Structure 1
Amino acid sequence: MNPIILFLFFSLFIMTLSLQTEPATNNAQIIVMGLVYCDVCTTNSFSRHSYFLPGAEVQIDCNFRAYVPKTKEQVSFSVNRTTDKHGVYMVEIPSVDGIECAEADIASTCQASLVGSSSASCNIPGYGSTTDEMAIKSRHPNLCIYSLAAMNFRPSKRNARLCGK
């Protein structure tokens, strides 16, 4: 058989297979997020002088376990993210087999740690890591949002004039 005809036949066959629709899956999308701020008055809380810190680098380590009949699947990852202009960092995992948020059959652990500050005047870690997480219910049944506690940097010296004694 002519190689060109054979190539065209296989190309047509592969194109036909790719046009078939796959059944819809109910896999979850997972979002892990948190924020970083500059604690100007070094109180380890957000005050009126605090501000969100853009450009801070954060390391996020997570482990998600799905409890599916006959199997226990696990997804682990470690990534670094940089905060946006609002001091928010975020990791999106588009689809995870076996995890359905609506079924509440997911166990998770996530930790975020400060890696570096973008500000030379606010670069001493305050709350430098977090394991506190809060699952946020979504209107979409397979969207899992995990919000981690806020972390902060602070200046090397407290501004007594601005913050008081």
Structure 2
Amino acid sequence: MDPIIFLLLTSSFRFLFVFAAQSPATSSRISVFGVVYCDVCSTNTFSKQSYFLPGVEVHIECKFKAISPKSNEQMNLSVNRTTGEDGVYKLDVRSVDGVNCSDGPAIVSFCQASLIGSPSSPTCNVPLIKTASNKISVKSKQGNLCTLSLDALTYRPYKINTTLCGI
């Protein structure tokens, strides 16, 4: 093999290995999610009469701290999401420099979701729990994934069906 081609190939491979070793090792993926459901009997719990609400707009606001010995950086996110058919809304933050799930205390300093839209259900459209904050934070050592589950947001019917709810 020609020495110049050999030198170019080995240089290219070395560049790829250095690039691959530096990329996701210092950053995390963050996933924030929650649900919106209809609390048919206004019991503040998900009962057998309850059901998930698709198509509801939710505003998510989060602040993340970067772990860095030289600075006290913070990233603020404010987005709107719509619940899917299963009543789930989700925010995925792909790669965050300086945020490492396996190091130190929780990296989320604040995260909350608020109802901003009405559900498409005409029978369940009175907001009951309008704002939810972080509840469970799970850190995965594989893939450096941080998952944050928020409390449920709920609507209730304008008038409770006393027969259905046993009241």
**TM-score, normalised by the number of residues in structure 2:** 0.82
Alpha-carbon RMSD across the aligned residues, in angstroms, is 2.0
Task: Report the equivalent of 1:134.
Answer: 136
Deviations for 1:121-143, whole angstroms, at most 9, x for unmatched residues? 11111111012321013252510
Deviations for 1:72-127, whole angstroms, at most 9, x for unmatched residues? 22110111101111111100000001000011352421010011222121111111
Structure 1 residues not aligned, in runs of 5+: 1-16
Task: Look up the equivalent residue of 2:82 and give its one-letter code.
Answer: T
Task: Report the equivalent of 2:73.
Answer: 73
Q: Distance in 1 between matches of 2:162 and 2:29?
A: 46
Q: Distance in 2 between matches of 1:139 and 1:120?
A: 44
Q: Distance in 1 between matches of 2:29 and 2:83?
A: 21
Task: Report the equivalent of 2:149.
Answer: 147
Task: Report the equivalent of 1:88.
Answer: 88
1:144 Cα deviation after fit: 0.4
Q: Distance in 2 between matches of 1:125 and 1:31?
A: 25
Task: Report the equivalent of 1:101.
Answer: 101
Deviations for 1:43-78, whole angstroms, at most 9, x for unmatched residues? 111111001111111100000011311112211011
Structure 2 residues not aligned, in runs of 5+: 1-11
Task: Report the equivalent of 1:161.
Answer: 163
Kindly report structure 1 stretches of 4+ aligned residues shifted beyond 2 Å.
20-25
Deviations for 1:28-56, whole angstroms, at most 9, x for unmatched residues? 00000000100011111111100111111
C-alpha contact 2:134 2:148 (8 A) present in aligned 1: no
Task: Report the equivalent of 2:120.
Answer: 118
* Identity across matched positions, percent: 48
Task: Look up the equivalent residue of 2:154 and give its one-letter code.
Answer: N
Q: Distance in 2 between matches of 1:147 and 1:137?
A: 12
Query: How many residue pairs were aligned?
Result: 149
Task: Report the equivalent of 2:6.
Answer: none
